[in-house]
Amino acid sequence: MTEEEIEKIVDRAYAETKIRYPYQGGFFSPRLKHINHMEVGRSKIIQSWYNILLEWIYEKWNAFGVRYHTWLKRVFPRRNVLFTGHIDSSLVGQLLFAEPAKDNIPIHNMHLEFWGRTKFYQWRKFGECSSDENGKFRLEFSLIPTQAWIIKSTLHFEIYQTTDILCEKGRMVHKQSLFKTIPIKKSDLIGMEYNLRIIRLFLWQYRPDSTIPRVYIKPDGTDAPEEYPEGRVRAMTEQMIPIELTKVKHLLQIEEDPLSLSIAQIQRDYPKNLTVAIEEKLPGYTRGDDWFGIREMNGMNMSTFQPDATTPGEYWVRYFGACNYEVNDEYAFPTAEIRFRMKPNGLPTPIEIHLTGPLNRFNKDPFQKLVVTSSEGEKWLQAKRVARVTSALCAELDQHLAGTHLNTEQYSIAAHRNIRKNPVITLLMPHVKSVSLIDNTADKLLIQGYIPSATALTAKSTEKRAADLLGFQDWKGWKPMKVLSDAHLYAKAEELYWQVVTEWVDLFFSQHETEIKKEWLEIYRMSEDLVAHSVPLFTETVNWDELSPEELDFTKRRIEYLAAEYRMDLNLPRKKVKGTQKAISPITESTVFREDSDDWQNLKDMCRYVITTATFLHTWVNEHQYEDIGEVLYSCLGLRFGEKETGIMAPESDISIAPDATRSTQMMWFSNLLSRTEYGFILKNEQKDMHPEFMELLNAKKKEFAALKVNVEEIESRTNI
Amino acid sequence: MHTKPMIRPVKNSAWHYFLRWLGAGYDKLILWLTSKFFALGLALVLSFPKRYRMSHNNGIAGKGKLRIVDNPQFPEHDFFVPGRVFDARIRHAMATFLDDAMKGIRSCSIKFADTQWESPMDLECNTGEINLFWSAASFLKFAQLRKQQWGVEYEEYYRKYPQGIIGAQKALRKDATSYTNLRYYALTPFLFIGKDQIKRYAKYRVVPFDDIPETGLITHPSDWDTANQRITPHEPRGRNYLKDEFVKRVKEEGAHYRLQIQTRVANDDDNPEIFNNQIPWDEAVFPWHDLAIIDITEPLDWKESTLTSFSLNNMPKTLGIIPAKSIYDYNSLNYMRAHAELARKARLFSYKIKGFPPPIPDDDNRNKSDWDGKY
């Protein structure tokens, strides 16, 4: 069969698996109330008719409440008109972040308003101001209008935060939401200054219990600093309910009779994925060397090909497995290093696989090594599967979780905490919103849920690994992956996307240059937050003196490869905070903009990096998951050691090393959840928060992206799943 | 992004005039009622049952002469005739504690007559170029939030009103060596309609005759400790040391002061802040001029000092208080003082019924503001 014929079959399989469920829910269809109600076990979906009915009544009641409040707002509008006269009074105080209380970190540029209501419930505005760089504010107003007999006895000091950026009539406008109201007794106002003293706000607080910069959300999910848009939940409900019901059916069946459910049955019950679809048309192709090379280069893993030091035209792709992280005794997670040779068509073909670490439950030597070559028949097939599984877990944790989700969240927190007046907020916010929410959900579903039960890693080691991986992520010096050949579609697409983002960021910065420079303090504060909360540079965390020769060699290989993978220049001078060198470089060290510095380019580079990471990089790794980990026996996140001495070096037919039925259905559910419920695309612009110029620039490259098998319509605008 | 708010325009229709007139009347009514009820409350709670003044119970008076300067630098006025001599009394006191060694505001009240009450003019001055309150409303809040215990007071007031603590730090005195070296200010301005019939405003102050350093200043005030007015630990001086010093000084050499005045022409578009006692008038623009020289030559005993009372109603019409519009008007402070007559009468009446309060003994009841020394 020719390459063209194979490609046609693969394209047909692609088309076949790109399904979307048209929503066919009726009144009594099961429904999902909130994304946080998703569980690896049984999600909290509402199924029974009386619960659906009660929920319907509750929703109607809520809707009535919303309509009532909307009506109230219309009847008693808050007009932006000041009731004022001789300014003789002021409200003074200081806004500080609630935690850490000892540090007294000021909240600058918060918008503050002072309102009263008449006895006939009309709103009257008495004054407004913003907090200064020290978080201090002086809201000046005229005393007499506040003391008029018609004004009710309680006045309202209101603190606003920017919760969204929306495009209205071609202009990006800030959507301000009321963050906190402090009631003030009318009788307490007597002229001159009224001191509201220090007001501590739980505003985008860093989690105190995490070494990774994460936002604090209460365990019950309340008090989150942002909310999912309604469309996000709806998209999740529409696509996930059939999948959830399949999982629930499997779990019930397993509860009744675990042996009655085979992996094949589980696979059949879920929508077909790419490898299953190809196998139906071209049996054995997905287990072959060609497909292995294609997926390593252009699949979910988007692997980094490191040239072999001695042989030109040969490359190494390395996936570092358990390393020295805490692991359980059930699952294997060996390191897989794969040697490729570049074919004339520009695609890589594997020629050798080196597996390091335990492959069975008897030999626990972490540096035992097995080298398998492409000529070894069945053993070669097994080694490729082991490498696929290791690479899948690495892609899930290293590229997806750490590389995009947690990486973006640290920028999201720093931006939300510090940028309010600077136009950079309108550039970044549409791309960094919601990530903290989905990361919080991932804590429960992935880090605490699926990973410890279905892979070698524990929750603790997953977090440690994520922190270590973040130690390789920095905006400074980042550049797109080097294109190795014409067939290197991922690298070409990344390069093209980077060009679009660069063009967009340059345009935005030229449009807003004056304002960006004027509000430079916000950039400085964001930079300070980023660096202060950044994890240490990975090399700083290694205790070189305590490493054995094997560990030393392994660690050096790992550092060299990961630095290349994350395109991080380890030799750049980096800032030390409390004696520790941080992974993230500062954008600026100055509170005011300095023309004689690199700060302007630094800020642009940071913005380009964050937008690319939150959109393109995440879209790629996320949407290809169902293709690469949507068939349990082809690849999963963890192979069990089994009872035999051969361990995980066994054929796919040996079910004892595959995930059990529960983990299998959970894995299928998971990969469907992640790849099929996307919402918030740049060009679809569902939330009306995309810059028209950016959309135009991206749309102009539609054909070029299509040639690289990238549909620009499907590039997400943010990391929200 | 927030757009800049529009300022509500002033509407000048007949209806809006009427509404404003109604509102102004309402504000004045509230001011009048507040002043009257406050005086009544004082009479019923402090003056009659306890024989207290409103605040400055701990005082000593003296008498002598007050002579208008020969060559006034301020606008001519029918009352302040150059060289005119008045019999005079002054009374120094401390608010509110009965212990001279405590930190507190000191006062100097001047009567242009040697009488207990009747006088052509009285002035009431306190230490500090600014004070702890600035309007009737702020004074009532000040009184409400006193919450004195063990010699510590106004903590909540200071926390809520930063200007109050600034005023306290400027006005409180501790460890003064004599009443006669302090500076006293009348703070809220008065009317001044001189011979030229031009309406002006005036402020008064009392300073030592000789330009000697002021003592008792709080040189390095602490926001955390301003509310603490207690005596210094191991304080060797007694509860009456300042009064005793005054009596001794007057007997030996007399007490000599200068009464000074600042004036400014009234304009229709004057910023209301010129009446704000928290904002001293710029001395470079409105310099202080000598108005009179006061020589006190004879101390008065405790009983006579207690009977000597002062009132802002004792003023020529052309030098009276400035009308106030509401309880938030800075001039409402003098308005309310002028309406406190009832409390004075109730106190004097209680003397007749219950007898005079005894002099403050030099005992160990320190940090007290009650006569009986009980907490």
CA–CA separation, A409 and B58 (whole Å): 66
Q: CA nearest A141: which of A103, A88, A219?
A: A88
ipTM given for this complex: 0.92
Provide the total of helices (H) and of strands (E) in chain A, helices listed first.
24, 19
- The answer to whether B130 and B267 are in contact (CB under 8 A) is no
Tell which residue, A629, A220, A640, has the closest CA to residue A394: A629
Which residues of B are less than 8 Å from A143 in CB distance?
A: 328
Each residue's pLDDT, cut to its tens digit, for chain B (375 residues) gives: 567 888 888 888 999 999 999 999 999 999 999 999 999 999 999 999 989 888 899 999 999 999 999 999 999 999 999 999 999 999 999 998 999 999 999 999 999 999 999 999 999 999 999 999 999 999 999 999 999 999 999 999 999 999 999 999 999 999 999 999 999 999 999 999 999 999 999 999 999 999 999 999 998 999 889 999 999 999 999 999 999 999 999 999 999 999 999 999 999 999 999 999 999 999 999 999 999 999 999 999 999 999 999 999 999 999 999 999 999 999 999 999 999 999 999 999 999 999 888 899 988 889 988 876 443
A22 has pLDDT over 70: no
Per DSSP, the three-state class of A218 is coil
The CATH code that applies to domain A386-714 is 1.20.245.10
Least confident of A409-413, A462-466, A674-678: A674-678
**Across chain B, how many H-helices and E-strands are there?**
9, 10
What is the C-alpha separation between B241 and B238, in angstroms, rounded?
5
Q: Give the lowest-confidence range in A182-186, A384-388, B2-6.
A: B2-6
Angstrom distance (rounded) from CA A163 to CA A433: 9
Q: Determine which of A19-28, A330-339, A469-478 has the lowest per-residue pLDDT on average.
A: A19-28
Q: Is B269 on the interface with A (CB under 8 A)?
A: no
Q: What is the mean pLDDT of residues A97-117?
A: 93
Give the DSSP letter string of B133-155: --SHHHHHHHHHT---BTTB--H
As a whole number, mean pLDDT of residues A593-613 equals: 96
pLDDT in tens, A421-440: 999 999 999 999 999 989 98
For domain A89-201, which architecture applies?
A: Sandwich (2.60)
Residue of B nearest to A146 (CA): B328
> What local confidence, expressed as pLDDT, does residue A50 receive?
82
Cα(B19)–Cα(A26) distance, integer angstroms:
60
**Residue B374: predicted pLDDT:** 47
Q: Are B1 and A174 inside 8 Å of each other by CB?
A: yes
State the smallest CA–CA distance between residue A531 and chain B in angstroms. 28
Please judge whether A128 and B2 are an interchain contact, meaning their C-beta atoms are less than 8 angstroms apart.
Answer: yes
Measured N-to-C along each axis, helices A407-418 and A424-432 cross at an angle, to the nearest 10 degrees, of 140
Q: Helices marked H in chain B — which ranges?
A: 14-42, 48-50, 136-144, 155-160, 162-171, 241-252, 302-307, 332-338, 341-354
Please report, for residues A19, A441, A471, A533, the alpha-carbon distance to residue A213 in angstroms, rounded to integers and kept in the order given.
36, 16, 12, 6
Residue owning tokens 């904002």: B279
Nearest Cα to A319, choosing from A347, A350, A342, A288? A350
In chain A, which residues fall in CATH 2.60.40.1120? 89-201
Q: Contacts of residue B159 in chain A, CB cutoff 8 Å?
A: 195, 197
Residues of A with CB below 8 A from B138's CB? Answer: 190-192
Supply the pLDDT for residue A183.
98
Chain A residues touching residue B141 (CB < 8 angstroms): 187-188, 190
Cα–Cα distance list, B186 to A8, B117, B180, B312, B348 (Å) = 98, 19, 16, 11, 25
Question: Which domains does chain B possess?
Answer: 15-54+340-355 (no CATH), 61-339 (2.40.180.10)
The long-range contacts involving A415-418, CB below 8 angstroms and separated by at least 24 positions, are A415/A526, A416/A204, A416/A225, A416/A226, A417/A97, A417/A107, A417/A203, A417/A204, A417/A525, A417/A526, A417/A529, A418/A108, A418/A522, A418/A523, A418/A525, A418/A526, A418/A529
* CB-count exposure of residue A63 (10 Å: 0-12, 13-18, 19+): exposed
Q: A36 falls in which pLDDT band (50, 70, 90)?
A: low
Q: In chain A, where does the domain assigned CATH 1.20.245.10 lie? A: 386-714
Backbone angles phi, psi at B169, to 5 degrees: -65, -30
Output the 3-class SS for A494-520. Answer: HHHHHHHHHHHHHHHHHHCHHHHHHCH
Catalogue the E-assigned strands of B214-288. Answer: 255-265
Q: What is the pLDDT of residues A132-150, one digit of tens each?
A: 999 999 999 999 999 999 9
pLDDT of B301 reads 95
Cβ neighbours for A118, distance < 8 A, ≥ 6 positions apart: A124, A150, A151, A152
In angstroms, the separation between the Cα of residue B280 and the nearest Cα of chain A is: 15
Q: Is B18 on the interface with A (CB under 8 A)?
A: no
Provide the residue type at A536 as one letter.
P
For residue A3, give the amino acid letter. E
Query: What gap in Å lies between CA B154 and CA B177, rounded to an integer?
Result: 25
Spatial contact of B161 and A191, defined as CB atoms under 8 Å apart = no
Cα–Cα dist A228/B340, whole Å: 63
The pLDDT value recorded for residue B372 is 66
